[in-house]
Amino acid sequence: MHNKRHILIAAAAVVVLVVGLVGVKAQGVLSGSPTVVAVVDMGTLTESLKEKQQIDAELETIRTTLYQERDDKQKEIARLQQDMDMLVPGTPPYAEALENYEKKALSFQLWGAYEQNKLNREIGLRVEKLTTGAQEAIQAVAEAQGVDIVLYKQQTLQLGTNQQGRPQSRNISIVAWSNDTVDLTALVAQHMNNAFDNSR
């Protein structure tokens, strides 16, 4: 019992010492120069980017081409179905037409899954590139403006669609309120747009 009391006293002393050291360190930090904090609205930023507009246009072209190819394939499968309907079941011509139809239908399904995965990968790569560029631009603008910390003003960032075609998003930090004077969104957008123009 006596030893247990000594252990508790020693533990309490250690806690007091640690708390005291942390308090001293915190006081030292707080007594220094103030930390400058700014915010960036990722939703507004991405919609302001020329690169994002180009990506959207390119992806729309890809989708339009895929939709046309899909329609052509569906029409071909429908034609094979009609040809098969005119044949007598159980005959060699019917069996041949059925086999051809099933191969085309299965090929169409595989093609659709492959092209959707390919499009999702392309969207993911472009979003990742845009996000990386935004992070680099935020750092560059923040350093130029003498900002120490940049917080995200928006709660979610849209990330395209998944394999089922459903929208994907990522939760990020949110700022409850901020003065417009600490919003770097416009400056970051201008920085990225200038870099995009210079890269062409």
**Burial (0-12, 13-18, 19+ Cβ within 10 Å), 70:** middle
Q: pTM above the 0.85 mark?
A: no
- Strand locations in 6-141, DSSP E? 37-40
Whether residue 27 sits in one domain with residue 94? no
The pLDDT value recorded for residue 105 is 95
Residue 21 shares a structural domain with residue 94 = no
CATH number for position 175: 3.30.910.20
Token pair 């120069």 is at which residue? 33
What pLDDT sits at residue 169?
66
Number of domains the chain contains: 2
15 and 79 co-located in one domain = no
H or E segment and range at residue 91: none
Whole-number Å distance between alpha carbons of 174 and 200:
34
Structural domain of 170:
33-199
Q: Mean pLDDT of residues grouped by 10 in the chain (200 residues)?
A: 44 39 40 79 89 90 94 95 91 93 95 93 90 90 90 67 65 63 87 91
Residues 61 and 147 grouped into a single domain = yes
183, β-bridge pairs: 39
The amino acid at residue 84 is M
Phi, psi angle pair for 194, to nearest 5°? -65, -40
**117 and 135 together in one domain:** yes
Shared domain for 132 and 104, answered yes or no, is yes
